[in-house]
Chains A and B, each alone.
Chain A
């Protein structure tokens, strides 16, 4: 194993077994908020215990270890091909060690070759920056919650949603309503207003790189984020859709330019098993710092 592969295996292990601090804090806060003695409270308690147990045993938090999505910020002149090879190897090794489930299926033949490496798996997004360091972030995105993601094309007559922020609000809240009971809530929404069908979903997932306790620098989007979070938590959907106070743990919204002819609102739903970590790497590929 090269130094880089070693670091990436450790990144995968930690992402799969340990919930980042900001998510942990949000889960504990919601456990406090739920009424004592309700099934919502006991669901949150089990979730909390599960997080502790996974960390202790260094085992996957959830058996669905999800789509493997890397985001790499790298300096000019960075060797992307070597990185991609190292990432694939790290995924193979992590799968053998049980940090990842054998989770990737050939869509035509239905065959699961047990490596988690194939077309589109893992997915790697590279982004150059004019700084010397390399930062690698990883999101493991579960399938149950991916299935309840939704893309709305405005205007949406049925929802009375026009091409404005209020229309976006209606679309996003409709997605919350429809997702209930599925996707293992309480959830986190990543939303992109605008873009095309592909970039809309892509940008919506990038929102999951933000910390849950950050605030949106754009005042309008910040208001919308807070409003959606509060409104969703007033609907009484609750953990697992059992009823209760915590329907969402967070809402993160970004905007991308659109064509005059289209207006998409793309919503990715993340389950409570919100697995996201990141590392800053030295030139030799060693881990210098954890990012979350």
Chain B
């Protein structure tokens, strides 16, 4: 198991290989469809959101306020990442992201940006809403909540040992591509 702390170190990120299991401790910012589109169209990052050397999580969490008025995350699994393919490379470049967490993998443009700017794609376990919510120790802040609503807002989470797998690394490798090609070949032999 590899431990990854935020802010990330470029050399460590570049040393990760597809298939590595990593646990993340530190800060994650969530962002999904609305945030990607907003930033792509030139929207400004709200003050306080620092993505440089940080990790972006494709997630629309279920968050409630407890009796003391504190935010509490009750479910926080990943959402499908490929919808952000048109925007992701630009965000990696402009904001200096070192990691993107989601599910299902991403395409060639993101893979190229990972290589050029030193970033990895981390696959979380789809559907594991409860286990992943347990890893979120506190909600540090929320941004753009009124503008986008709870699932689409930028949430700043403090996480401990958040499990994921590197499926696209900074050396141009994609586990998704490898598994697809191998399984396609295996299937051809069985038809």
Contact = CB atoms under 8 A, between A and B. Distances in A.
A57 interface: yes
24 contacts: A39-B21, A42-B21, A42-B163, A42-B165, A43-B165, A46-B125, A46-B128, A46-B131, A47-B128, A50-B127, A63-B77, A64-B77, A142-B127, A144-B103, A177-B187, A180-B179, A180-B180, A184-B103, A236-B182, A236-B186, A237-B179, A240-B103, A242-B165, A243-B175
B130 A243 contact: no
B145 interface: no
A33 interface: no
Interface in B167-191: 167, 175-176, 178-180, 182-184, 186-187, 190-191
B123 A177 contact: no
Q: Which 7 A-B pairs have the closest CB atoms?
A: A63-B75, A184-B126, A53-B130, A62-B127, A63-B129, A235-B183, A50-B128
Interface string B111-142: 00000000000010111111100100000000
A238 interface: yes
A98 interface: yes
A62 B79 CA distance: 11
Contacts of A236: 179, 182-183, 186
A87 to B, nearest CB: 23
Nearest to A62: B127
Nearest to B1: A42
A272 interface: yes
A105 to B, nearest CB: 11
Given A54-B129, A181-B176, A240-B126, 15 more contacts: A46-B125, A46-B128, A47-B128, A53-B134, A60-B129, A63-B75, A64-B77, A98-B74, A101-B62, A144-B103, A147-B80, A173-B190, A180-B180, A236-B183, A240-B123
B130 A61 contact: yes
A235 B125 CA distance: 20
A173 B191 contact: yes
A231 B183 CA distance: 11
Contacts of B127: 47, 50, 61-62, 64, 142, 184, 271-273
Nearest to B150: A102
Contacts of B105: 181, 241
Interface residues of A, number: 42
Contacts of A240: 103, 123, 125-126, 165
Interface in B59-83: 60-62, 64, 74-77, 80
A240 B166 CA distance: 13
A210 interface: no
A211 interface: no
Contacts of A39: 19, 21, 165
Nearest to B123: A240
Contacts of B76: 63
Contacts of B129: 50, 54, 59-63
B26 interface: no
A49 interface: yes
